[in-house]
Amino acid sequence: MAMTIVEAARAVTGGIDTHGEVHVAAALDEVGGLLGTRAFDATPEGYSALLSWLAGFGAVEKAGVEGTGSYGAGLARFLARAGVEVIEVDRHNRQNRRRQGKSDPIDAVEAARAVLSGSVRGKAKSRDGAVEAIRFLVVAKRSARQARVKALTQMRQLTFTAPDQLQSRIKGLPAPQFIAAAKGLRPTRSADPVMAGDEGIALLTGPPHR
């Protein structure tokens, strides 16, 4: 009776060096042998072509992706939805970079080898859902707070050399009262050009509330 030998599908580990316009991918076999490297557009169509290219070598089990929190976020989500375990790779081997020179294919190979060796194991964050929405709000709030503090600091610094008449109106005021007073400043017909230009401070905070 003839026996049929069924070969198991070769397990493939991918490594991707991500950039704004193009991602460079590398494919390794189970023992770390390099199967190939190729560049793909950083677009949904490019993601699909990248995965198809990896799958052409065998069963894609894992992929090490550099920059999952920035340029690689979209690719990481795409691969995860396709059933590939995505491992976040933060930094490539610097010794190899110095010895072989900066090369995107080399970085992609190093990402795949880091996953295959187990030296990196952190699963990439999905960067979606409620957690990501909250992160966006926190970033926006922090940025707005920093901008407010910077503007307020500039306003106070401008008053350090202001004429006494102006300083007496706003010096030492707590922030809310200081801002309210600055909003109320208007140009005057004073012979002093600085006093006449009170509007300069008002412009920092916008028109007064009516």
Q: What is the pTM of this model?
A: 0.60
Confidence band, pLDDT 50/70/90 cuts, at residue 161: confident
Domain 11-117 has CATH 1.10.260.40: no
Residue range 96-131, pLDDT digits in tens: 555 555 678 999 999 999 999 988 766 766 566 666
Q: Is the pLDDT of residue 60 over 80?
A: yes
Q: Is the pLDDT of residue 21 over 60?
A: yes
3-state class of 114 per DSSP? helix
Integer Cα distance of 148 and 206 in angstroms: 13
Integer Cα distance of 113 and 78 in angstroms: 21
Q: What is the pLDDT of residue 47?
A: 97
Domain ranges in the chain with CATH number 3.30.420.40:
11-117
| Mean pLDDT, all residues of the chain | 80
Which position has the token pair 């976040």? 88
Q: Which two tokens stand for residue 137?
A: 């709000």
